[in-house]
C-alpha cells in the first residue's frame, strides 16, 4: 500500500468516526429538546451558534491548517467534539437555551475543523491524476454522508435505548479512542505550507472559487431550509411517526445520498470523458434539482397524500442533490493551487456553513409560520439562485 493511500484511509477513517457523532448529536438535540417542549423556532435557535461558528472556523481553520498542518487541525476538531458531547450530559436544569447554544458552538467549530482538514488533505495526498482526485474526494464525501445517516439513526436509537445522557457518554468515549488512534497513525505536516501565510491571504482572488462558494451557500441552504427542523417535526407532529422511525428514515436518506455521491464519478463518467466535471455540469444539475422541492410544495398544496409526497420527493431530491454536492466538492479542489488548498477549502466551506446557518434559521421560522410547504418554496428559491450563480463557472483545464 502506498503511503498516500494509507494516509488517505487514515484520514477517511477519522472523518467517518467524527461524522457518526455529528449526525447522532444533531438528531439527539432536535428530538430531545422537542420532547422537552421547545418550539420549532427554539429548536432551530439551538443550532444558531453551531452554524455561525462554522463560518468563523472555516475562515480561520484553512489559514491555521496551512500554518500548522491539517493533521493537527483535524485532531483539534475531534478533541473539541468530545468536550461538546460531555457538556450536554449535565442535568436538565442546566440545559438552558444559552448553555446548549454554547455546547453547539463548540460542536460547530469541531465539525468544520474536521471537515476542512479531511477534504483539503485529499488534495495534498492524492496523485495529480484528475480521475483519481475526483474519485477520492467523491468517496470521502459520499461515505461521510452515508455515515452521517447512520449517525441520525444512531442518535434516535440511543435516545430510546440509553437516554440522552447515556447516548452522549457512549459517543464521547468512542470518539476519544479514535482521536488517539489517528494521532498515532497519521504523519505530521500534511497540507502545511512552507511559508507562513498571512491571514489576509485567506480571501480568494480567484473568480471561479468565489463564484463557486456563492453557489455553495445557496445549494446547502436549500437543503437545510426544510431538512433540519421542518422535516423531522413534520414527521412527528403531522404524520405521527415514532422517534426511532424518524431517525431511521432520515438515516436511510442520508446513507442513500452518500452512496450516490460516492458513485458520482462513475455516474458522470460519460459526460466528462473520465476527467473531472466542469462548471457546466454544476449549472445543469442545479437547475434539475430545483424541480423537486417545487413539485413537492405543489403536491402538498393540492392535497396529495403527504406521506407519499415527502418520502418520494425526499428520495428524488437526495439523488440529485448528491450529484450537485459531489461536483462542487471536486471543483473547489480542482480550482485550487496545491499550496493554497487549505485556505481555499476553508473559504469555500465558510460559504457552506453560512448557507446552512441561514437555512437552519429559516427552517424553524418557515415551518412555524408557513408549514413544510413554505419550507419547500424557500428551498426552490435557494436552488435557483445556486443555479444562476453557477452560470459562467469555468471548466478545470485552465487550472491543471
What was the pLDDT predicted at 199?
Answer: 55
Domain membership of residue 200 (yes or no) is no
**pLDDT-based confidence at 256, cuts 50/70/90?**
confident
Domain membership of residue 358 (yes or no) is yes
pLDDT, tens digit, for every residue of 67-106?
A: 777 778 888 889 999 999 999 888 888 888 788 888 888 8
- 355 against 247, higher pLDDT: 355
Domain membership of residue 242 (yes or no) is yes
CB 317 within 8 A of CB 289: yes
Q: Which residues constitute the domain of residue 16? A: 3-189+206-399
Domain membership of residue 87 (yes or no) is yes
Domain membership of residue 177 (yes or no) is yes
C-alpha cell at 149: 445517516
Domain membership of residue 244 (yes or no) is yes
C-alpha cell at 68: 500548522
What was the pLDDT predicted at 129?
Answer: 47
Q: Total domain count for the chain?
A: 1
> What does the H/E/C string look like for 83-98?
HHHHHCCCCHHHCCHH
C-alpha cell at 138: 467523491
Average pLDDT, the chain: 81
User: What CATH number is associated with residue 240?
Assistant: 1.20.1250.20
Please state the pTM of the whole predicted model: 0.71
**Nearest one of 312, 345, 399 to 114, comparing CA atoms:** 345
Domain membership of residue 198 (yes or no) is no
Separation CA 344–CA 341 (nearest Å): 5
pLDDT, tens digit, for every residue of 33-50?
A: 878 887 777 777 777 787
pLDDT, tens digit, for every residue of 151-175?
A: 877 887 888 888 888 889 999 999 9
Domain membership of residue 63 (yes or no) is yes
Amino acid at each position: 500500500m502506498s503511503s498516500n493511500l494509507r494516509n488517505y484511509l487514515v484520514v477517511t477513517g477519522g472523518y467517518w468516526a467524527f461524522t457518526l457523532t455529528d449526525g447522532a448529536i444533531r438528531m439527539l438535540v432536535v428530538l430531545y429538546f422537542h420532547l422537552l417542549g421547545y418550539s420549532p423556532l427554539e429548536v432551530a435557535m439551538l443550532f444558531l451558534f453551531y452554524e455561525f461558528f462554522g463560518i468563523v472556523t472555516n475562515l480561520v481553520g484553512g489559514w491555521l491548517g496551512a500554518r500548522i498542518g491539517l493533521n493537527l487541525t483535524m485532531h483539534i476538531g475531534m478533541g473539541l467534539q468530545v468536550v461538546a458531547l460531555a457538556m450536554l450530559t449535565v442535568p436538565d436544569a442546566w440545559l438552558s437555551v444559552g448553555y446548549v447554544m454554547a455546547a453547539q458552538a463548540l460542536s460547530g467549530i469541531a465539525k468544520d475543523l474536521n471537515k476542512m482538514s479531511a477534504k483539503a488533505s485529499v488534495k495534498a495526498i492524492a496523485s495529480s491524476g484528475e480521475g483519481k482526485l475526483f474519485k477520492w474526494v467523491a468517496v470521502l464525501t459520499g461515505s461521510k454522508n452515508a455515515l452521517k445517516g447512520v449517525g441520525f439513526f444512531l442518535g434516535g436509537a440511543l435516545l430510546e435505548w440509553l437516554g440522552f445522557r447515556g447516548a452522549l457518554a457512549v459517543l464521547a468515549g468512542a470518539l476519544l479512542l479514535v482521536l488517539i488512534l489517528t494521532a498515532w497513525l497519521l504523519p505530521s505536516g500534511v497540507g502545511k505550507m512552507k511559508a507562513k501565510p498571512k491571514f489576509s491571504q485567506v480571501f480568494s482572488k480567484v473568480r471561479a472559487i468565489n463564484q463557486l462558494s456563492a453557489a455553495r451557500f445557496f445549494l446547502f441552504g436549500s437543503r437545510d431550509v426544510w431538512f433540519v427542523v421542518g422535516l423531522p417535526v413534520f414527521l412527528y407532529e403531522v404524520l405521527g411517526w415514532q422517534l426511532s422511525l424518524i431517525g431511521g428514515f432520515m438515516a436511510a436518506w442520508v446513507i442513500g445520498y452518500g452512496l450516490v455521491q460516492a458513485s458520482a464519478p462513475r455516474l458522470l463518467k460519460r459526460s466528462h470523458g473520465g476527467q473531472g466535471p466542469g462548471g457546466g455540469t454544476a449549472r445543469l444539475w442545479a437547475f434539475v434539482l430545483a424541480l423537486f422541492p417545487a413539485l413537492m410544495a405543489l403536491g402538498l398544496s393540492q392535497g396529495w397524500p403527504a406521506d407519499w409526497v415527502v418520502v418520494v420527493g425526499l428520495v428524488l431530491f437526495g439523488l440529485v442533490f448528491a450529484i450537485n454536492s459531489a461536483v462542487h466538492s471536486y471543483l473547489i479542489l480542482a480550482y485550487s493551487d496545491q499550496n493554497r488548498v487549505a485556505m481555499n477549502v476553508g473559504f469555500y466551506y465558510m460559504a457552506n456553513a453560512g448557507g446552512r446557518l441561514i437555512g437552519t434559521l429559516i427552517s424553524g421560522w418557515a415551518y412555524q409560520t408557513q408549514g413544510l410547504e413554505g419550507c419547500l418554496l424557500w428551498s426552490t428559491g435557494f436552488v435557483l439562485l445556486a443555479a444562476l450563480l453557477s452560470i459562467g463557472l469555468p471548466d478545470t483545464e485552465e487550472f491543471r
